[in-house]
Amino acid sequence: MIEVNEDDFIRCPVCEAVNIDKSRENICRRCGSSIYKHMRFSTEKSWAYLITAMIAYIPANLYPMLITNQFGVVEGSTIMGGIVLLWEHGSEPIAMIIFIASIFIPILKFLILIYLLISVKYPIGKDKKVNKHKLYYITEAIGPWSMIDVFVVAILAALIHLANVEIVAGTAATAFATSVFFTLLAAHAFDERLIKENK
């Protein structure tokens, strides 16, 4: 017989088996993966990825995402420029999709992760009834959708490849893809157990 406090149950991030928190090194009893053993660097890894992602997000918005070469006239359009152009041309739904995927979701994800990372260290929002587990789940669920714009650029670049008219991906595509990649890593590196400790 073992006596367990109900707060000591943790879920393995890999196989989702319920484990007992032994506080120092936790090896999942079902799949054998280690469950966040870096106790001393609990949030630093996630912070590092998140800051990298935010830095990469700046050139992603400043440099052109898409370069069109039409009869020798080279024109580049940034993410925001592309959205405005689409809106003016009357494709509002597509402009909205691109806006949500490349501007709204990344920024929302940055803000939620910053909030989570600060709130597990300092007592912010303790009294409020915000379910941080739910917030974390939302960031994991919406995160990949920011890749839409990168894929669109890849498809257009592969498709429009003629002698006179050509579309090429711009510098921002690399920056944006890097940014999305690191935000996903930041979310994965976040230790969900910390939410519980600072309830």
Partner 1 sequence: MKLENEDALDNLIICHECYTLHEEIPIKDGTKALCSHCGSVLYRYDSRLVEHGLSLSIAGLIFFILANVFPLVKIEILGHEQFITIPKTVIALFDNGFYVVGVLCAFLIFIFPLMIFLINIILFTLLKLKKGKFFTKELLVLLSHIKPWSMSDIFLISILVALVKLIGYAQIHMGISFWTLILFVLIDLYITKKIHVSEIWMLRKRVFLAQGHR
Placement of tokens 């050509």 in the chain? 166
Residue 20 is a binding residue for partner 1 (CB under 8 A): yes
By the 8 A CB rule, do 172 and 61 touch?
Answer: yes
Residue 168 is a binding residue for partner 1 (CB under 8 A): yes
Smallest gap from Cβ 182 to partner 1, in A, equals: 11
Helix (H, G, I), strand (E, B) or coil at 17: coil
Main-chain dihedrals φ then ψ at residue 198, nearest 5 degrees = -110, 40
Binder among 184, 190, 191, 194 for partner 1 (CB under 8 A): 184
Q: How many residues bind partner 1 (CB under 8 A)?
A: 62
Residue 9 is a binding residue for partner 1 (CB under 8 A): yes
Rounded Cα–Cα distance for residues 44 and 99 (Å): 30
Placement of tokens 């106790």 in the chain? 39
Rounded Cα–Cα distance for residues 36 and 52 (Å): 21
Residues that bind partner 1 (CB under 8 A): 1-6, 9-11, 14-20, 29-33, 86, 91, 94, 97-98, 131, 133-134, 137, 140, 144-145, 147-148, 150-152, 154-165, 168-169, 173-174, 177-178, 181, 184, 188, 192, 195-196
